[in-house]
Copies of this chain bind each other. A is one copy, B any other.
Amino acid sequence: VPSFFEKLDRAMTRNRSLLCVGLDPDPSKLPAGAGLLDFNRSIIEATAHAVCAYKPNLAFYEALGVEGWHLLKETIACIPEDIPVIADAKRGDIGNTARAYAQAIFEQLECDAVTVSPYLGLDSLEPFIAYREKGIFILCRTSNTGAADFQDLAVKSDGHELPLYQLVARRASEWNIHGNVGLVVGGTCPAELGTIRRNHPAMTLLVPGVGAQGGKLDSILAAGMDRDRKGLIINVSRQILYASTGSDYARVASETAEKITREINDIRDDVEQV
């Protein structure tokens, strides 16, 4: 069985794509007559040739109650075996509780990767990292305005001073003893993305915040690509899912995913890396 990062790399190459589609169902935005599972299944079928990963955010399923957990399991079952699934869960709790979360996401939901929060430190992340074949993306610099409240503050560590998000990246890299740790860095802050890429040339960065949140592909790619012009998983949710609110939503989602993938690839071919 291939690991998350093997699966990811193969899908990136096979589909020539760095695009991840965020599967975030919003009942208020569904095309008339479509059920949530049908909608997710159609989106997956329409985009599977153009993506490197899917990323359901658990919040949107939990908001639907018990039914939402059924929907999440059934949605994950619709995703082709050879495309990895990243559970966007942003979990973070102490050791024995973190173990239960890891079990929920890797064993119950059978996801290939997860997002986690660093605030509780190493022992809250170890139970996830211990699943060597899974991918662990640690929140580093997020795409929202509140990111500045704590992540950008200067902290002192080992006699040096640096922004908290950079220290989180450094620790994540030190804790990456199995090679299965990546970082979440928002697409709305290319300067911070560039700094993280320079400091951590080989780390895979999961980048939300493109499209609806305002992140621009050219600056993200210039700042964030690694030396192989990869190393980025660029997530787009609403811009693809709700590209059309008519009955043609799957076709329009497919075209939008292809267009974004082409746009990314054109920039990959052209741009000077920073």
Point out residues on A near B: beta carbons under 8 Å: 24, 57, 59-60, 62-66, 68-70, 73, 88, 90-95, 97-98, 100-101, 103-105, 107-109, 117-125, 139, 142-151, 153-157, 161, 164, 167-168, 171, 213
Known: A117-B92, A121-B149, A167-B153. A62 touches B144 (CB 8 A): no
Copies in the complex: 2
When the two chains form their complex, are residues A164 and B155 in contact, meaning their CB atoms are under 8 A apart? Answer: yes
A66 partner, pick from B69, B156, B157, beta carbons under 8 A: B69
| Nearest-CB residue, chain B, relative to A152 | B121
Known: A69-B69, A146-B120, A146-B123. A63 touches B94 (CB 8 A): no
Known: A63-B108, A90-B92, A104-B59. A151 touches B97 (CB 8 A): no
A123 partner, pick from B104, B119, B144, beta carbons under 8 A: B144
Instruction: Report the bound CA distance from A118 to B119 in whole Å.
Output: 8
When the two chains form their complex, are residues A100 and B59 in contact, meaning their CB atoms are under 8 A apart? Answer: yes
When the two chains form their complex, are residues B120 and A147 in contact, meaning their CB atoms are under 8 A apart? Answer: yes
